[in-house]
Amino acid sequence: MKRYLLASTALCAALAPSAFAADLPTLKSPPPAPSMASPVFNWTGFYIGGNVGALWSSDPVETTNGFASAAPGSTNALNLSGLVGGVQAGYNYQISNFVLGVEGALEASSARGSSTPLFGDSVATHSSSLPLFAELRLRAGVAIDRLLPYVTGGVVFADQRNTIASQYFTPLSTGRSEATGWAIGAGVEYAIDSHWSAKAEYLYTQFPDVSGTISDGIAYTFKFKDSNQIARAGLNYRF
């Protein structure tokens, strides 16, 4: 009997720690810290920057009255090309993924061109240049985080100089130099960081026809049809 009592006591002593441990609450490891999502880039704000590129065109000069090879309705091509560069400033406002904005630009250009068609026994030189122009355009795009493809359009104010000259005809006639036209185009802009962004864009501009005249008893009137294509790259600083 004494042996059974000692054995029971030893068995209870051996099982007691396990039973006590089973009654203790289970300690859980802490949940992992939530990952911090990268903030979505926002295009809202003012910006200023500069650009450089190329300008070119190939427009007809149309004879509206004349004779011989300068018959009414005859045309000859006037090719214009050169570099362009300037500054721009604007404001963007982002609504969800849509970005609306307005931009103004002031541009200088080396673009010029001339042609010398033969009119009977005389040669008249048609010349054109675009030394300076300004733009006021709206922009609309869809933001893909830091990438902004957009379309743009607005008005262009240009110092478009069209000239007709001939050694046989006087006086020299210069077409209207101040012209107001329209522009349409598209581009893409990429935000390098929270302040700097780079862009590339294409614009097509169109101006009203301009007429000029040379005369030596008989008037010769020519109509310039002015348009330009512009491709440029730029850098903006956002405030």
Whole-structure pTM value: 0.77
- Strands of the chain (E only): list them: 45-65, 75-95, 98-109, 112-115, 118-119, 122-129, 132-142, 147-159, 161-166, 173-174, 178-191, 196-206, 210-215, 219-224, 227-238
User: For the residues of 115-161, what is the DSSP string, one character each?
Assistant: E--EETTEEEEEEEE--EEEEEEEEEEE-BTTEEEEEEEEEEEEE-E
DSSP state of 85: E
Domain boundaries, the chain: 45-238
Kindly indicate whether the domain formed by 45-238 is annotated with CATH number 2.40.160.20: yes
Per-residue pLDDT 10s for the chain (239 aa) are: 544 444 444 444 454 555 444 454 555 666 665 554 455 799 999 999 999 999 999 887 777 665 444 555 566 778 899 999 999 999 999 999 999 999 999 999 999 988 876 555 556 777 889 999 999 999 999 999 999 999 999 999 999 888 877 766 655 566 667 889 999 999 999 999 999 999 999 999 999 887 777 766 666 777 788 899 999 999 999 99
Give the three-class secondary structure for 4: helix
